[in-house]
Amino acid sequence: MILEGLVTSLAADGSMHLAPMGPSVDAGMTRFMLRPFPTSQTYQNLRRHPEGVFHVTDDVLLLAQASIGRLPNAPAHRSASLVRGFVLTDACRAYEFHVGSVDDSEQRVKMECEVVHAEHLRDFFGFNRAKNAVVEAAILATRVHLIPVEEILTEYAKFDAIVRKTGGEQERAALDVLLEYVAEAGRRA
């Protein structure tokens, strides 16, 4: 199963790098597989320093901003417990991990990760159609170089109806950030 979340890794200068990722996870969350592109900063960071933290969150605004590289500020965080890395303090759960094996023979790298420490930080808000729509919109935004902008905007119109009907302020702000990003990409094309 793929579980969408956020990964923090250690940048070359020792600062926190944040990126959305959807690893394949096992039911017990003891192991998972990250599949970053070899050109990604997360891949570079984890090759240099093979540990990080995977976060489960319901903060779709943070996920949206991270997916398009538009974080106005670093989110609240602290040092991890067992790895050299960072825990997002407003996440629901945090899974500190070590990267075991790395297979970079394909277009997407496969990084087998072992969870070395798991932590419950706060309760998950629950299922919400607007939050799910924003996650899907964020994934599409990361593919703006692969999918025609018109196709993405057609999907965004559907997401907008869901978010306006079932979402709150955070979900509306997240979709607005993504819509602006995709529209800018369309103007540049």
Task: Give tens-digit pLDDT for 107-159.
Answer: 899 999 999 999 999 999 988 999 999 999 999 999 999 999 999 999 999 99
Q: What is the pLDDT of residue 53?
A: 98
- Reply yes or no on whether the pLDDT at 5 is more than 90: yes
How confident is residue 182, by pLDDT bands cut at 50, 70 and 90?
very high
**Mean pLDDT, rounded, for 89-97:** 98
**Mean pLDDT, rounded, for 35-60:** 97
List the domains of the chain with CATH numbers: 5-120 (2.30.110.10), 129-188 (1.20.58.290)
**Helices 169-188 and 129-141, axial angle in degrees (round to 10):** 20
Task: Give tens-digit pLDDT for 74-88.
Answer: 999 999 999 999 999
**Mean pLDDT, rounded, for 8-12:** 97
On whether the pTM is more than 0.75, the answer is yes
CA distance 136 to 110: 23
Match 């793929």 to its residue by tokens: 2
Q: Read out DSSP for the chain?
A: -B--EEEEEE-TTS-EEEEEE--EE-TTSSEEEE---TTSHHHHHHHHS-EEEEEE---HHHHHHHHTT--SSPPSEEE-SSSSSEEETTSSEEEEEEEEEEE-SSSS-EEEEEEEEEEE-S------HHHHHHHHHHHHHTTTTTS-HHHHHHHHHHHHHHHHHH--HHHHHHHHHHHHHHHHHHHH-
The number of residues making up the chain comes to 189
Q: What is the pLDDT of residue 166?
A: 97
How confident is residue 23, by pLDDT bands cut at 50, 70 and 90?
very high
Q: What type of residue sits at position 15?
A: S
